[in-house]
Each structure stands twice: as structure tokens, then as C-alpha cells.
């Protein structure tokens, strides 16, 4: 850090990234050098008796041993220099580029010698000796194969760290710095689009595929524009950020224990829900979460039951439907065996005739959903599927804010662009088949409920605004709703009909363009403040994953807790004009959205938010093995989910089955407590 400069260009690697690759290569080369020395001792004297190719073999032996010894020495020097200094102490590693050049140039004689070894090992007419031995020949054959593999890995590594924007012309700003920045941004966007078209060629056929590529490419280009971060820096920054956030949490807990304020979280469910409408309750939430999971179809059954999932849906598939067997349900874009529908029936435990409509069409901005007659709660339920495919990921990442229009909303309301498109698609589809009108006329006393998880939750909230003028009593049960969904006033209005449930450290509930930009700023700040070399940080990160963060590391990781003036940070591209540098870098690091490049509008989570967390048990409870409830909860605000935290359970807490298990555990404990009282 900053990115390594070599051959007059920038690469996607830093001078402190060579410790682990260097150690790996050293260990392999020492092993093979030892084997080569054994062959040399055993076979060298016999090379003078060769009738053909003796000089050839001796040249290979001596050349390889000398060259590999030299390479090992160079690698040791490279590892030693690469391990010096903290991440931002580039001057401490100033000898890494010249040593790396020496290492790369040593590849040329090594290739020549390896050609000699290949000819000896695999071309029988090149060398004729009275004795070679199975051991000698086997070692030489393995050696040359290993060398070619090593060369291939080296080429692959160069391709992986090649930065298409590494050319000087994208970094040297001449008379018009803003034009240089614009050139780099356009080039970066173009590169990301080309990568998407190549890697996700099947998405190109989607009607909105090109638009999604353009939007996501612009987002990724803007987020890391003007930074000198390489992938390993982001990983190390996340480790450091985790330590910093844990330290801050510990301090806040200590302050909270010393204060006399009323606890924010409570295990008393009756007290928590005493200020909420009756329809907002955990029984309903658990029930509608099951229907949200059902919308994922057969892939979710396979996820829940990796080994037995196929057998669980066999009773519900209908392969004979290929030959015209009539169906009760109107199903769109399922396969001929109706596997998705089988998954819906298995998870929801609802009869097929009560699944009134199901669309499994999955394109960019077009989400699968089901319309269900739920007799248990007397509701018509629209369950919208969350993210499960790469097309859904592109819908998620089309995260620019766009104008959102619906009756009753302020004129300046903004929302997540991809989810707006998803809500418009489902509203259009529901209108085409008129399924809601038919269902509510068939069950005139039933209400209308929209539900979904993750992406499905965000789309359900926006769809609720769209169709609420026609169905004013509809309710939305949303789980793991993304943070960057609605502008603040609209999010406040949604609290009257949207019930959002979040668990623990769910990262999606904190995920938005604004929080990602803040995460980038946090990474740059923590990298600058750390005094540890990168290899130590990554090793510690592995230890934290396995054993947790020890208390001593919470204090010994930092150089300081302040960040210098932005124009002095080595993590950002240098500029030739200081005033331009200061303004550009200040905008990069600022938390003021008015100077941001991408997220000009801050978006929030919709609905009234119930946040559930694991309860930290007392020492007495842990010793006895018993204790109170496992979870506690509170009504949170959208502002509580603006910071993207790096936590061990940030992904697990988002998974719908984990959310369901948490709700189920709370309700089971509540039932057990009631039984004990009775």
C-alpha cells in the first residue's frame, strides 16, 4: 500500500503482499533443490560415461542448483523487505520493486534450463547414458513438470494483478485534472461493463441486462475512484475495522453499565409489543417468514436439506405435466416438472389449490413471486423471493437512487432504483392476471399481506406503496430489509403498514451505497492508524476467526485514532495540483453526502423495525447452564442501521432460516414460561 509500481505502471498488488507467496515458493524450491542435490550426488559421476548428451546433463544439474540457490536467496530478501513497516510505510519497502525485478528476470535463464531438463526427461534420443536410474529420471521428470506449473502460476498471478488502469496516462493529471479524473472514471466503467458481459453472458439477453451492467459498473467505478487500495488492503482493512468496532462496542458497554439509563433491549415481549399495533406480533412474523422462504422454491429446500432435499420434493413434483396433465395453479416459467412449485408447497405446507398464482420468471429487475390464499390468518399473501441468482445480485447492485412515485408520497421521494423496477414489474404482472381482484372477490373477508426477505422485502415495501391506494388495509411483513431503500420521509410513512424484523448483525439491513462509502472511508482510516505490517494483520485475522479477538489486540493495533489531512494520505492518488488534491480527497473521505460522487441522497430502511439480538448471559447463568431467554429485542429506528459493521455473524444473521429459528426460539421460550406459570 499504495499499489506496487513496476515496469512503469500500477498493479493490483502492494509491496507488502509478497510475504506469503514468497514463503510458499521458498518452501517448494528448498524441497526440490534438496531432491536435485540427491540426484546430482548419485548420478553426476555417471554423466562422464554418457555416449551422448553428458555436457547437456551436467549443464542442467549445475545450472539448476546455482540458479535455484540464487532464486531462494532473492526470495528471502524479497520476503524480508516486504514484511517491513506498517501498511502505509511505503518507504520502508522501497527495495521491493528492484528485488522483484531481479526475481522476474531470473525466470528467463530458468526457462532455458527447464527446456534442457524437458528434453532430457522426455526426449530419449537427446541423452544416452549407461545408467540413469528410476529415481533420477523420476525426480527430473517431476522437477521439470513442477517448473512449468510454477511458470504457469506466475503468468496467472501477473494476469490477476494486472490493472487495466495502471497506465500512467490515467494517473498523471495535466492541465485539466477534472478531465483526467473523468477519463479514468469512463475507462473504469467501460472495463467493468466488459467484464460483466464476458462473465455473465447469459444475463445479456435480459431486457434490462445492459442497463444493469451500466449502473453496476458506474457504482463500482465510483466507489473506489481515486483510491490506491488493492484487494489485500480491503481484506486487512476489514480485519482492523472489526477490531476497532469491537473496541468501541466494549467502551460503549462499559459506559452503559455505569449509566442509570433504562435498558434499550428487553426480554419482556409483552412490554415491547405494548406500543405496537396488534397485527405486529411474532406469531404472524414467523408464519409469514415461512411463506417468504417458500418463494425461494426448490433451491431453498436443497439448501436446508443438502442430502435429502431431492427426496423431500419428489412427492410434489409432476413430471407428467409435460404431457398435458391439468394443473390447479396458474404457474409461469417453472420447468415441466414444476420443481419450484414443489419447493413452495413443501416449505409453506399449503395445499396446491391455495397457491393461486406463481411466477418464477427470473430476469434482471424481474423477481419470482407467489400469491397464496392463507386460511390460517385469513389473508391473501403475495410472497416475493429474495436474492438467490446472479440476476438478483444485479438488481441489488443497481443501487442508485431514483425518483419513486406513488399516491400519498412526497414529490421528492427517492428509492433504490433496482427495487423500484422490481416493484413496477410485479405490480404490472398482478394487474395483467388480475389475481388479487379474483382472490379478494373469492375470499371477501380476507386481508392483503405482502411479504419477502432481503431483496424481496425491499420490493414488497415499494410494492405496498404502489398498490396501497387500491388496498388501503394491506400489511407488509419484511425480513432483513436493505438499508438503502427509501428517503427518510417515505420510510417514516411506511411505519404505519410495514413491519420489519432484523436479527443481530445482519449486514443487508446496514447495506447501502452510503454505508459502503462510509466503509471505504473507515478502511482507509484504520489502515492509516494501524502500526502492524499487513502479514501480521492477516494472520491475526485468521486467529480472530478461529479463536476470537483477544483483549490485548484491542489496544495494541493502533498508531493513533485520528486521521490526518486527506491530502496527506498515502492511500489516495497523488495530484500535481495540491488544491485539486485536497478537494478531491476531502470529497472521498467526507461523510457529508453533498460532496459525495455517487450517493447524493441518503436512503433508509422502511417500516417499523424490530431488532432482535442475542442476550449476553450473566456469569451465574453461564455457570448453572440455565438462565433467562436467549434473545432480547427493541424497536429501532432507521438511523440505527446506517453503519456497515464487520462482524462474524453478519452473513449468518441475514439468512432466512436463521431468522426463522430465532423467532421460533423466542416463541417456544415464551410458551414454556407460560406453561411453568400455569
* Residue 455, H or E segment: helix 455-467
- Peptide bond just before 2 cis, omega within 30 deg: yes
* Tens digit of each residue's pLDDT (9 = 90 or more) over 244-283: 888 877 777 777 666 655 568 888 898 999 999 999 999 9
DSSP code at position 603:
-
| 595 φ/ψ angles, rounded to the nearest 5 degrees | -110, 5
Please say whether the beta carbons of 122 and 141 come within 8 A. Answer: yes
Degrees to nearest 5, angle at CA 647 with 646 and 653:
120
Residue 649 banded pLDDT, cuts 50, 70, 90 = confident
Q: What is the pLDDT of residue 331?
A: 87
Q: Could you tell me which of 25, 525, 459, 445 has the C-alpha nearest to residue 238?
A: 525
Per cent of the chain over pLDDT 70 is: 76
Q: Does residue 460 have a pLDDT over 70?
A: yes
Among 184-193, 492-501, 516-525, 591-600, the least confident range: 591-600
* Tens digit of each residue's pLDDT (9 = 90 or more) over 474-532: 999 999 999 989 999 999 999 999 999 999 999 999 988 888 888 888 888 888 888 88
Q: What is the pLDDT of residue 140?
A: 77
Length of the chain measured in residues? 678
Q: Does residue 133 have a pLDDT over 80?
A: no
Q: Does residue 179 have a pLDDT over 60?
A: no
Highest mean pLDDT among 59-63, 371-375, 409-413: 371-375
* Tens digit of each residue's pLDDT (9 = 90 or more) over 281-302: 999 999 999 999 999 999 999 9
Q: Could you tell me which of 374, 373, 371, 346 has the C-alpha nearest to residue 359?
A: 371
* Tens digit of each residue's pLDDT (9 = 90 or more) over 135-152: 566 777 888 888 888 888
Grid cell for residue 222: 465510483
Q: Could you tell me which of 466, 319, 358 has the C-alpha nearest to residue 407?
A: 466
Q: How far apart are CA 479 and CA 238, in angstroms?
A: 26
Q: Could you tell me which of 48, 51, 67, 75 has the C-alpha nearest to residue 114?
A: 67
Q: How far apart are CA 50 and CA 127, in angstroms?
A: 8
Among 486-495, 568-577, 613-622, the least confident range: 568-577
Q: What is the pLDDT of residue 329?
A: 63
Q: What is the pLDDT of residue 566?
A: 43
Neighbours of 121 (CB within 10 A): 22
3-state secondary structure of 653: helix
Q: In the predicted model, what is the mean pLDDT of the chain? A: 81
Q: What is the pLDDT of residue 256?
A: 65
User: Which ranges constitute the DSSP H helices of 325-416?
Assistant: 339-348, 390-397
Predicted TM-score (pTM) of this structure? 0.81
Among 86-95, 190-199, 368-377, 472-481, the least confident range: 190-199
Please say whether the beta carbons of 452 and 500 come within 8 A. Answer: no
Q: How far apart are CA 281 and CA 272, in angstroms?
A: 10
Q: What is the pLDDT of residue 176?
A: 44
Q: How far apart are CA 53 and CA 548, in angstroms?
A: 60
Q: What is the pLDDT of residue 658?
A: 95
Q: Which residues pair with 635 in a beta bridge?
A: 610
Q: Could you tell me which of 450, 302, 455 has the C-alpha nearest to residue 387?
A: 455
Amino acid at each position: 500500500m499504495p499499489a506496487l509500481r513496476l515496469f512503469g505502471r500500477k498493479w493490483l498488488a502492494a509491496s507488502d503482499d509478497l510475504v506469503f507467496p514468497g514463503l510458499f515458493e521458498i518452501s517448494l524450491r528448498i524441497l526440490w533443490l534438496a531432491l536435485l542435490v540427491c540426484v546430482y550426488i548419485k548420478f553426476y559421476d555417471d554423466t562422464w560415461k554418457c555416449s551422448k548428451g553428458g555436457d547437456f546433463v551436467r549443464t542442467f544439474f549445475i545450472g539448476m542448483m546455482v540458479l535455484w540457490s540464487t532464486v531462494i536467496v532473492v526470495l528471502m530478501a524479497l520476503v524480508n523487505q516486504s514484511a517491513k513497516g506498517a501498511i502505509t510505510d511505503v518507504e520502508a519497502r522501497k527495495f521491493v520493486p528492484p528485488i522483484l525485478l531481479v526475481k522476474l528476470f531470473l525466470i528467463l535463464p530458468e526457462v532455458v534450463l527447464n527446456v534442457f531438463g524437458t528434453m532430457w526427461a522426455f526426449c530419449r534420443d537427446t541423452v544416452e547414458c549407461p545408467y540413469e536410474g528410476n529415481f533420477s529420471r523420476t525426480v527430473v521428470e517431476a522437477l521439470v513438470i513442477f517448473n512449468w506449473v510454477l511458470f504457469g502460476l506466475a503468468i496467472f498471478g501477473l494476469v490477476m494483478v494486472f490493472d487495466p488502469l495502471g497506465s500512467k496516462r490515467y494517473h498523471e493529471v495535466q492541465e485539466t485534472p477534472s478531465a483526467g479524473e473523468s477519463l479514468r472514471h469512463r475507462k473504469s466503467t467501460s472495463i467493468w461493463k466488459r467484464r460483466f458481459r464476458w462473465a455473465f453472458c447469459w444475463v445479456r439477453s435480459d431486457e434490462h441486462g445492459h442497463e444493469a451492467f451500466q449502473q453496476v459498473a458506474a457504482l463500482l467505478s465510483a466507489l473506489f475512484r481515486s483510491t490506491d487500495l488493492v484487494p489485500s488492503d480491503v481484506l486487512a482493512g476489514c480485519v482492523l475495522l472489526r477490531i476497532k468496532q469491537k473496541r468501541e462496542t466494549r467502551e460503549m458497554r462499559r459506559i452503559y453499565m455505569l449509566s442509570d439509563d433504562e435498558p434499550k433491549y428487553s426480554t419482556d415481549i409483552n412490554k415491547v409489543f405494548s406500543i405496537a399495533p396488534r397485527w405486529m406480533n411474532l406469531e404472524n412474523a414467523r408464519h409469514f417468514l415461512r411463506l417468504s422462504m417458500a418463494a425461494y422454491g426448490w433451491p431453498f429446500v436443497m439448501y436446508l436439506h443438502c442430502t435429502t432435499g431431492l427426496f423431500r420434493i419428489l412427492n410434489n413434483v409432476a413430471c407428467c405435466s409435460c404431457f398435458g396433465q391439468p394443473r390447479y395453479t396458474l404457474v409461469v416459467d417453472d420447468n415441466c416438472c414444476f420443481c419450484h412449485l414443489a419447493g413452495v408447497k413443501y416449505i409453506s405446507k399449503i395445499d396446491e389449490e391455495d397457491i393461486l398464482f406463481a411466477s418464477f420468471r427470473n430476469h434482471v429487475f424481474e423477481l419470482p413471486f407467489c400469491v397464496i390464499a392463507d386460511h390460517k390468518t385469513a389473508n391473501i399473501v403475495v410472497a416475493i423471493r429474495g436474492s438467490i441468482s446472479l440476476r438478483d445480485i444485479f438488481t441489488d447492485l443497481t443501487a442508485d437512487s431514483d425518483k419513486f412515485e406513488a399516491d400519498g408520497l412526497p414529490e421528492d421521494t427517492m428509492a433504490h432504483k433496482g427495487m423500484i423496477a422490481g416493484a413496477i414489474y410485479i405490480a404490472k404482472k398482478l394487474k395483467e392476471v388480475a389475481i388479487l381482484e379474483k382472490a379478494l372477490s373469492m375470499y371477501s373477508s380476507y386481508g392483503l399481506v405482502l411479504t419477502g426477505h432481503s431483496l424481496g422485502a425491499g420490493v414488497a415495501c415499494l410494492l405496498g406503496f404502489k398498490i396501497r391506494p387500491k388496498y388501503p388495509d394491506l400489511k407488509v411483513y419484511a425480513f432483513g430489509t436493505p438499508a438503502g431503500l427509501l428517503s427518510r420521509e417515505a420510510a417514516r410513512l411506511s411505519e404505519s403498514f410495514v413491519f420489519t424484523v432484523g436479527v443481530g448483525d445482519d449486514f443487508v439491513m446496514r447495506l447501502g451505497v452510503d454505508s459502503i462509502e462510509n466503509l471505504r472511508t473507515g478502511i482507509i482510516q484504520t489502515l492509516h492508524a494501524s502500526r502492524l505490517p499487513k502479514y501480521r494483520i492477516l494472520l491475526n485475522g485468521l486467529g480472530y476467526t478461529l479463536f476470537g479477538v483477544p483483549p490485548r489486540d484491542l489496544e495494541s493495533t493502533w498508531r493513533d485514532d485520528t486521521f490526518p489531512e486527506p491530502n496527506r494520505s498515502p492511500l489516495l492518488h497523488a495530484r500535481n495540483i495540491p488544491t485539486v488534491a485536497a478537494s478531491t480527497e476531502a470529497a472521498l473521505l467526507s461523510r457529508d453526502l453533498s460532496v459525495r460522487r455517487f450517493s447524493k441522497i441518503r436512503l433508509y430502511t422502511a417500516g417499523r423495525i424490530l431488532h432482535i439480538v442475542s442476550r449476553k448471559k450473566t456469569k451465574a447463568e453461564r455457570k448453572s447452564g440455565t438462565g433467562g431467554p436467549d434473545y432480547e429485542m427493541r424497536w429501532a429506528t432507521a438511523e440505527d442501521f446506517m453503519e456497515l459493521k464487520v462482524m462474524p455473524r453478519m452473513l449468518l444473521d441475514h439468512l432466512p432460516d436463521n431468522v426463522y429459528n430465532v423467532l421460533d426460539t423466542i416463541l417456544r421460550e415464551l410458551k414454556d414460561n407460560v406453561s411453568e406459570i400455569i
